[in-house]
Amino acid sequence: MKAQNHSYYYLTLIISLLLMSTILLAQKQHQENRSQELSDSEHIEKKVKKLAERLSLTTDQKEKISSLYFSHFMLIKEINESEGQDSEEKSGQMNMLKSELDENIIALLNDEQMMKFEKFKKNRKLRSNSKNRN
């Protein structure tokens, strides 16, 4: 009887430890994910800052491009939250919006900046393709 009580005690202890470790691991992953997430405005500011550095944007261009990105993100969010569309439809809409965003940005740039932006887009596409392969 004592051996059975010890077995029950150890089994309970092991199950408790497993549950606690699972919960702690899940909490840690959740905290890591939250710390990696940026708010939309932080994400936009980061994108515009990167573009400004690479393209030597003026203050006026930065403000206009930032506005374009805010509008773009709002539309993307609406598509993501919409129901009744399959992923292919959403993907198509998002690609169309991305093209429109790029066209609107290009309209604000001078010739030198346009060439840099096209190079930036090619590098972005290469990075995206390499991420998708992994």
pLDDT digits over 95-118, tens only?
Answer: 999 999 999 999 999 999 999 999
For residues 14 and 71, state if they share a domain.
Answer: no
Give the model's pLDDT for residue 34: 55
12: containing domain: 1-37
pTM for this prediction = 0.65
Give the model's pLDDT for residue 16: 78
With tokens 């569309």, the residue in question is: 85
For residues 44 and 85, state if they share a domain.
Answer: yes
**Spans of the chain, pLDDT less than 50:** 35-36
Domains: count for the chain: 2
Give the model's pLDDT for residue 64: 95
For residues 33 and 81, state if they share a domain.
Answer: no
Alpha-carbon distance of 7 to 27, in angstroms, equals 30
Residue 66's identity, in one-letter code, is: S
- Which of 73, 56, 70, 71 lies closest to 108, judged by CA? 56
For residues 31 and 52, state if they share a domain.
Answer: no
- Which of 93, 64, 88, 63 lies closest to 76, judged by CA? 93
